[in-house]
Structures are given as C-alpha cells and as structure tokens.
Amino acid sequence: MSLQEQLSAIVEEARQGAGVVADRAAMEAFKARFMGPRGTLTEAMKEMGKVPKEEKPAVGRQINEAKQSLLALFEELVGRIETAERTVRLGPPVDPSLPRIDDGAGTIHPIAQVREELVRVFRRIGFNVAEATEVETEFFCFDALNMPGDHPARDMQDSYYLPDVAHFDNVSKRESERYLLRTHTSTVQIRTLLREPPPVRIVAPGRCFRRDTPDATHSANFHQIEGLYVDEQVSLTDLKATLDHFVREVFGSKAKTRLRPSFFPFTEPSFEMDFYSPDLGKLSHRWLEIMGCGLVDPTVFEACGIDAGRFSGFAFGMGIERIAMILQGVDDIRYYYQNDRRFLRQFAG
C-alpha cells in the first residue's frame, strides 16, 4: 500500500470511529490513536525518509492535508462534547412557549402598600400628590427651608454629596452649590411653591437619604410623606383637624392626637405630634410619637416669593417605615430591605 493510500485510510478510519467518542477521556484516547507518539499518522510520517527526493514535496502536502483533516475532525468532536456537557448542566430542554412555573403571584412591597394607603387618605380630603427628583441642590434641601450653611440643624442632615463634576439635565444648581441626595421630601414643597401660586395642597411621598447608622429604627435610606397646605387664613386649627382625621383613618376611629412644642427651622410654631389608639395590639393604649409639624415659617414663604402677609400654611412630615412598623407589627426596620421572601409574604394581599 502506497503512503498516499495509507494516509487516506487513516483519515477514513478516524471519520468512521468518531461516532463512538462520547466524553473527554475517550477523545484523548482517540486523538492519541492517530497523532500520539505511536499513532498511525505519526508512523506514516516516519515513512517520509524512504520517499525519493523528487516526490517529497507532493508527499509532504498529502501528509499535511491528512493532518489538517484529522485536526478539523478533533475540533468538531471537542465542540460536540462541550455541547453535551453544557446540556447536562442546564438540565432537560424547556419549551419557552409554555407558561412559566411559579410559586405564586408577586405582591406590592409592604412599604409601598402603606405609602399607597397614606396617599389615599389625603387624596380623599383634597390633597394632590407631588413628586420631584431624589438628587437635589443645597438651596432646595436647606437654604429655602431656613437652614443656611451655618445653621446647626444642617449638621444631622449634611449627608450624601455628589462630586463637583456631576451634571444632571433636570436639576440646576447655583455656582457655589453642591448636589446631594435629598434628606427629606420638603424639597418637593419648595419646588411646588416656586412653580404654583397658592392655594396649594399637596402630599409628597418619596425616598430620602441621611447619614444614619443602621439599627432597628434607623436606615440611611428611608421613605417620607410630607404634607403642605397654603392658602389665605390657614390656621393651627386646620392643621390639627387634618391630622386628627389622618390618625383616625389610619389607626382606628378611637385614635386621638396631641401636639408637643418643638423646633424646626421651616415651621413656627413647631410641634411633635403623638397619637394614642386602643386598637394597635401590643402598642395599644400608649402615646407614640409619629411626626413633626407646624405652621410654615414666613422665611420659607419669602424664599419662594410668596406674600407672608396674605398667605399662611401648615406642613407636616412623617416616616413611612415608622407607620408601616406600627401597622404591621414589625420591630426592626432592616427587615424591609433584606429581600427575605418569608418576611415579605406575610404582607401579601
């Protein structure tokens, strides 16, 4: 048998035997059978020494063609083996046209559930919902709320500032200002007063950020809902009546409120509001602090270009997580952010 015939036979033998190669170990043995130290192609190549000089170029091309045919076959086998291994890892094939297998429909997050309920309560008494960006400037977050740069009330809120090179198409800053993540939704009140003339009656729910150390009752990321009512002759009586209605709607018809004098730069007079309800389980029959509130400080009206001699108003703000914890019997705010489905399923509607 000539060398050319041997080479053709080797390639044909490899093609015939490729069908039984099923894994990497078999592949290595199969490859060694032809191209190993004692492989049939290796032995055939040793015959080059016996080929006459004038025939060597042609025989060399034939050997190289046989070698390339074997290498292409081996590469195809490796690809087939890798596909089989990947199929085993992925499991049986799935028909994407079939309905997905699920363990139940999703539900609204418990914080979102409480937010929607609070919004519904205020909508029913004439408040509109207002929203704005979570990235703010120092003017909207502090200065317009009667907290200039040297005001001590800023200390606990000077939090997450953004680099000076940051740029946002929907938020503009003065040259000396910085961008920061808003520390309260009072920024929405300022933007609304600058955009809309009184009367204004809004609630502003949204996410806020402060430099708090996380514990059972604090989080660097949290949610607030704030309210603002500005019109002619708005009084403290209007504030108390609004908050009494809110508390009875949320915590039961027997709930009641009390106001304690406090201080906030943007309201004067200012109050902390507590509420009492006999229908809260283990928190029943206890006075619980729930929000800050007061009449809008004339300085805030002045910053927004509103005539404080003609208009007055009240504002209030509370943490949505705090309301949720009271209503849902949760004793650690961190549970809301851990994505534990066992916890979240408890509040599925």
Tens digit of pLDDT per residue, the chain (349 long)?
677 778 888 888 888 888 888 888 888 888 888 888 888 888 888 877 777 788 778 878 888 888 898 889 889 988 988 988 888 888 887 787 877 766 666 789 999 999 999 999 999 999 999 999 999 999 999 999 998 877 776 776 778 889 988 888 888 888 788 899 999 999 999 999 999 999 999 999 999 999 888 899 889 899 999 999 999 999 999 999 999 999 999 999 999 999 999 999 999 999 999 999 998 888 999 999 999 999 999 999 999 999 999 999 999 999 999 999 999 999 999 999 998 988 988 887 6
| pTM higher than 0.75 | no
Q: Where are the domains of the chain?
A: 3-90, 110-132+185-347
Tokens of 68: 């390339």
In this structure, the strands spanning 311-319 and 288-296 are antiparallel
pLDDT at residue number 46: 80
Distance of CA 81 to the CA centre of its chain: 40
pLDDT at residue number 36: 86
pLDDT at residue number 349: 64
In this structure, the strands spanning 200-209 and 128-129 are parallel
pLDDT at residue number 57: 83
pLDDT at residue number 9: 85
pLDDT at residue number 70: 86
pLDDT at residue number 111: 96
pLDDT at residue number 104: 66
**171 touches 137 (CB < 8 A):** yes
Reduced to 3 states (helix: H, G, I; strand: E, B; else coil), residue 85 is helix
110-132+185-347, what's its fold? BirA Bifunctional Protein; domain 2 (3.30.930)
pLDDT at residue number 184: 93
Alpha helices in the chain (DSSP H): 3-17, 24-35, 40-45, 56-90, 110-123, 138-141, 186-195, 236-251, 298-303, 320-328, 341-344
> CA–CA separation, 210 vs 3, rounded Å?
83
